[in-house]
Structures are given as C-alpha cells and as structure tokens.
Amino acid sequence: MKVVIVGGVAGGATAAARIRRLDEQAEIVVFERSGYISYANCGLPYYIGDVITDPEELTLQTPESFFSRFRVSMKVRHEVTAIHPERKAVAVKNLETGEEFEEGYDKLLLSPGARPTQPEIPGVGLERVFTLRTVEDTFRIKQYIDKHHPKSAVLAGGGFISLELAENLRALGVDVTIVQRPKQVMNPVDSDMAAFIHSEMRRHGVKLVLGCTVEGFAERDGGVDVLLKDAQALHADMVALAIGVTPDTALAREAGLALGIRGSIAVNDRMETSVPDIYAVGDAVQVKHAVTGQDALLSLAGPANKQGRIAADNICGGDSRYPGSQGSSILRVFDLTVAVTGINEAAAQKAGLDVDQVILSPMNHAGYYPGGKLMTMKVLFEKGTYRLLGAQIVGYAGVDKRIDVLATAIHGGMRATELKELDLAYAPPYSSAKDPVNMAGFMIDNIEKGILRQWFWRDPIPRDGSATLLDVRTVKEYGRGHLEGFRNIPVDELRERLDEVERGKPVYVICQSGLRSYIACRILSGCGYEAYNFAGGFRFYEAVANDRRLIESASACGMDQ
C-alpha cells in the first residue's frame, strides 16, 4: 500500500507515524510546501518574545529524524499543485528546483491546514504588514524586530494568536494596540467573561480598539497607517494580521471533493471525503460540534492530532470514528489564564438551546492555605434536561485542572447536577474539600430543586419600588462601592433586622461573590420572602460594568483612552 500525505504538522505528521506503527510495509510519502514538516505551531509567538530562544526548539521533527525512526519519506519545499482522483495521482512541484512530477497513491490524506485570513483591502501585502502562521512567518517577524527595533505595533484581530503575540511584544517593550471588529477579544468566551481579559490587557499597557473595522493599510513616515472605518487611522511601526484563518482547500475544490462551510472539506466521521480513498484532517475540514451537533470549523491542534490518528487507522483497514470537536482550549494572557470548553452562552442561544448558568468565584485551593487565587467560573447547562453545554474560566492557578474536569464531564454526557458527585483529589495546596467543580454542581442542584433563584447582570434592576434591593456585605465593603438603590444589611445582622425588609415584595440580593447573598436568600426564603441571588456577586458586576463603561465612553470604534 502506498499512502501520499499532503501537509505535515499536526494532522499529517501524526497520521504518517500512526500508519507506520500499524503497517511496517506501507510506502508513505509526505509533501510539505514549507521548510518544516512538524513544528510547534502554538509556540511561535513565544519565540518572537524570546521566551523560546533556540529556533530548533520549534521543530518537533526533521525529515531526517522522521525517516530514521519511521522510514517515512518527508519531502519539504514540495507543493502539491493538483489531485487527479481518476488515476489516483497528485501533481507535485519541487519549490527548490522547479521540477514538476506526478506521484501515484493507493490512499491519499489531505492535511493542508488553514491560511491566515487576508481581507481584500488595500495594503495587505506591505512589507511591514505580517501574518503569523508558519515558522517562516515567525522568522520574518523576529528578523524585522531584531533589525528595526519597532516601538509600536497594531494587531488586527483579537483571537488566540493576537493575544499571545501582544503579550510577547509587550515583553520586548513594544507599544501594542489591538483592533477588533466585535466589542470583545477572544470570541469563544462570552462578553461578560471577556471583561476580565480586557482588564488584564489594559493593566499591562495594551490598548484596545473594540467594535472597529480595519479598511486598509498605507505606508507613511517609515511605518504603517491602519485605516479604520469611521475613525482616525492608527500609526505603528509594524502590523500583524490575526483576524482568523481560512481553510486551505483550493486543491480539494479543484479536484471535485465535496465542500462544507466556508469552503472547508466535507468529511464523515471516518475522516473520508466524498471521493473514495481520499481522507482529510485538521484545520481544513468541517466537523460536527460535539455539543450542538452542528457543522463547525475548529482550528485547534488537539482535534487535528486525533483526526490524523483516526484517518490512519481507517487507511490501514480499521474502523475508528471521530465523535466531533468540543472546542476545549486554554490561553495565557499575561498573568491570567483563560480556558473554555463546549459552547458559550451566545452560541447556545444561536443554536436554539434554552440555556441557564451559574457564575462563581472560588479560590484555587483551600482558603486557609497561603497563596490562594480567585478564579471566575461560568458553567452553562440546558434548562429542563440539565445537560452540560460549556464552561469558561478566568483566573490564575488551577484553571487548567477545572476546565479539563468540566471538558471530561461534557464528553461523558454528565448532567450538570452530577458535578457535585465527582470525587476529586484534595489537599490544601491544590484544592478545597469542596472543589470549585463540585461547588458548581451544588449550585446547579439547588437550582433544580428550587432552592436557588438567580438574577443576572443583564437583567433590569427594579428601582421603581416594586422590589427590595439588598446588599448583604459588610458596612466597610458597601462603603467602597455599591449599586445604586441597594440598601446595606450585613448578612450576619439580617435575622435581627428582618423588620426592615418589606414583606410582599421580591428581594434582590447581592454580596461580593454570591456566597453570602445565597445565605441571605435562604434566610429570607425561610421567613416567607421571595428572594433572588445575584449570579457572580458585586465583584463580577463591577468588572463587567467597568469594562462596558470604558468601551462605550471611549472615542469612535471603542478606542481606549
């Protein structure tokens, strides 16, 4: 059996190694148009910021090392220019010599990945306008920085690569501005959770231009003008385009393979395309979202690796199936860690799901053990069924552990109430006896049983006298800031001061994190009141409200002041 693989990196290289492990006799040829067959794509921004200093550390395998171990012929700087399914061959061009030839196959695997999205606007090809996707892109940016020592950079886009690049450029002393069309960065998180990311970036000197569209670039005064719609242009020494990626599927389209959303390659759960003996994996393929069941594009290394393994199994006569992508991911933003799994609130509503949520702010470990850090968790579930839909966490230590537990729970089909039953490891330096994931389960269990009723930051506050507004923090906390119209009765004084709470009206209760207000709600409910607890507490409300004030009060396009 002869297998030809188009593209290396996560999907292609993984498939090549797996095929060899399953079939010692197979002839395997990989064509990669870049100079690198397998590299640490996610580590590229950290080489620019001198966190990774040796360029060889970015290369996971070389053609020589791959051949030595797996006897796979790795042809770098070779571009496949056409697929001929009718005669089971691909056309190839050697980019070093210009030689063109055909290579036959029994099985063909496409792993072309995705390319940086480059809008059709003026100035995209300017010398100081960069993209960051490949090792070659990284070296170009690094060489420019080392040679020209730019003092300022504009990053167009607010996704993973942009945020990582912003951190690394700031570490080099570069003044960084991020321009993003939506009014938030990192679209996988909801806008309320994005408020914490915005705050962290501003704290480290990154300027945010949110809700603004880039219309082009122009050279001026040795730098680049970033032209904005309905706003004054931004000037910088360099620009990085990081507005997303587009499936690189020209080969598949020209060969007549069925395509999916945004021109991606349509595959079944065996990673088979519409043409026999042609498989496809990675950022170029359309998958099913594991939570919604809808068609999706998810450009992440984990799914690409899994798909490469599954395709290899099936090429070698097995029957492996890809269950869909859940979108679990994690990102460091300066000192903050941001992690997501499943779908967010906006995606759930778009999918027509009736969604509910809990928001909590637990410590990463036991409160009495020194060095504890708060995290903010948002766990989403479907009303009625209590099916887990997704989770978002921002914080410091321990975020990765909790998101992985929640990702596993979603994959396993657990009900949200079952989170309370998980037997999770505990020792004071690592967790609490009631782990944050357990706490989310307790809260959702209380919702199902009617013990907990919530109100949210988006809900209008009834300040017309139809409800009682109650802040149950200490007098000192209340004095440092509170919501208009809320009177202060500390929770520990509430039982003795119930006569100050008018009967016959609902009571909206808030505290710093949501815990004391929940206790207050139970006291009130036990005494015949209809009480609602604010999800997330004053800390959460203040973070979201401050972020919105900064965005809305800024100049055109949400320019930070």
Q: Do strands 376-382 and 265-266 pair parallel, antiparallel, or not at all (unpaired)?
A: unpaired
Determine whether 450 is exposed, middle or buried from the number of CB atoms within 10 Å of its CB (0-12, 13-18, 19+): exposed
In this structure, are residues 470 and 489 in contact, taking their beta carbons and an 8 Å threshold? yes
390 DSSP β-pair partners: 342, 380
The DSSP symbol for 134 reads S
- Give dist(CA 17, CA 200) in Å, integer: 41
Residue of 42, 511, 521, 527 with catalytic role: 42
Q: Which residue has the tokens 């500390």?
A: 490
Rounded to 5 degrees, what are φ and ψ at 349?
-65, -40
Q: Which residue has the tokens 């940086």?
A: 116
Q: Which residue has the tokens 């080099």?
A: 172
Please, how many CA atoms are within 13 Å of residue 146, restricted to the half-sphere of its CB? 11
Q: Can you read off the two tokens belonging to residue 170?
A: 């700031």
Q: 249-279: b or e for each residue (b if 16 or more CB lie within 10 Å)?
A: bebbeebebebbeebbbbbeebbbbebeebb
Q: What is the SS3 assignment for 32? A: strand
For CA atoms 38, 41, 45, 50, the dihedral sign is negative
- Give dist(CA 336, CA 106) in Å, integer: 49
- Give dist(CA 328, CA 388) in Å, integer: 14
- Give dist(CA 5, CA 112) in Å, integer: 9
Q: Which residue has the tokens 């006896």?
A: 433
- Give dist(CA 301, CA 329) in Å, integer: 10
- Cα-based distances in Å from 482 to 392, 471, 557: 26, 8, 29
Q: Is 42 a catalytic residue?
A: yes
Among residues 344, 414, 23, 3, the alpha carbon closest in space to that of 191 is found at 344
Residue type, 76: V
In this structure, are residues 304 and 11 in contact, taking their beta carbons and an 8 Å threshold? yes
Report helix angle 9-22 to 63-70, nearest 10. 20
- Give dist(CA 30, CA 8) in Å, integer: 7
For the annotated catalytic residues, the residue numbers are 42
